[in-house]
Amino acid sequence: MIKLFFLFLALSITGYIASFLSNNPGEIIIEWYGWLIKSSVSVIILITLISIIFIFYLIKAIVNLFKIPKRIKNNFPRYKFDINKSLNFEKPCLKTFNNLKLAFNAAQNGGNAPCVLNASNEIVVESFLKEKIKFLDMTNIIEESLNKISYIANPNLEELIETDYITRNFTKKIINNL
């Protein structure tokens, strides 16, 4: 805001100096590619100021649109990939991570099962974020959707789109009945 104030001040001073130097004090005449613009200094300054404010907020909106989330500060050293050349993972406990078990099963079954899992998961997560369901209800709802929606072994695109639609509606009905 301070930058805008100083810019406005600089434009005002420049405008008033230009008006005193011109033949018609208080009036500015601009000729540009055959266009003739006659205006007072104050109108030119006002239009310039409004344009600058508009451009400022437009740039601010574009920057916010592509803003990368801020990192949380911590005291841990950065991981050095050149020193530690390998990452080791343990086998996940499928009893603890039920949704992972459902995902593995859906991938193994193939067909439209991954589509059902994804559609149901999206509705369940949305409902959880809106605090319509509890965290521990999520797995049961997804599992019920996987069990109740008709399995298609080799679905085409239209069948996948229909499966997605049916699953989303079915999942919403389950949530509304809780």
The boundaries of the domain holding residue 14 are 2-65
Q: What average pLDDT score do residues 105-114 get?
A: 95
Q: What average pLDDT score do residues 97-103 get?
A: 93
The number of domains in the chain is 2
Whether 92 has a pLDDT exceeding 60, the answer reads yes
Q: What average pLDDT score do residues 79-89 get?
A: 83
Q: What average pLDDT score do residues 55-59 get?
A: 85
Q: Report the 10 Å Cβ neighbour count for 70.
A: 6
Considering the domain architecture, whether residues 119 and 58 belong to the same structural domain is answered as no
Look at residue 139 and tell me if it is in a domain. yes
Q: What pLDDT sits at residue 25?
A: 60
The predicted-structure confidence for 27-37, as pLDDT tens digits, reads as follows 777 777 788 87
Look at residue 90 and tell me if it is in a domain. no
With contact defined as beta carbons under 8 Å apart, do 163 and 155 qualify?
yes
How far apart (Å, rounded) are the C-alpha atoms in residues 176 and 169? 11
Map residue 39 onto helix, strand or coil: strand
Domain end (from 10, 44, 65): 65
Q: What average pLDDT score do residues 77-98 get?
A: 86
Look at residue 112 and tell me if it is in a domain. yes
The predicted-structure confidence for 130-171, as pLDDT tens digits, reads as follows 999 999 999 999 999 999 999 999 999 999 999 999 999 999
Domain end (from 44, 65, 86): 65
How far apart (Å, rounded) are the C-alpha atoms in residues 157 and 98? 28
Considering the domain architecture, whether residues 60 and 114 belong to the same structural domain is answered as no
Q: Is 29 left (phi over 0), alpha (psi -120 to 50) or beta?
A: beta
Whether 26 has a pLDDT exceeding 90, the answer reads no
Q: What pLDDT sits at residue 22?
A: 59
* Residue 142: closest CA among 108, 95, 105, 96: 105
Look at residue 84 and tell me if it is in a domain. no
Considering the domain architecture, whether residues 52 and 103 belong to the same structural domain is answered as no
Q: In this structure, what are the phi and psi dihedrals at residue 27, rounded to the nearest 5 degrees? A: -125, 140
Look at residue 86 and tell me if it is in a domain. no
Q: Report the 10 Å Cβ neighbour count for 163.
A: 23
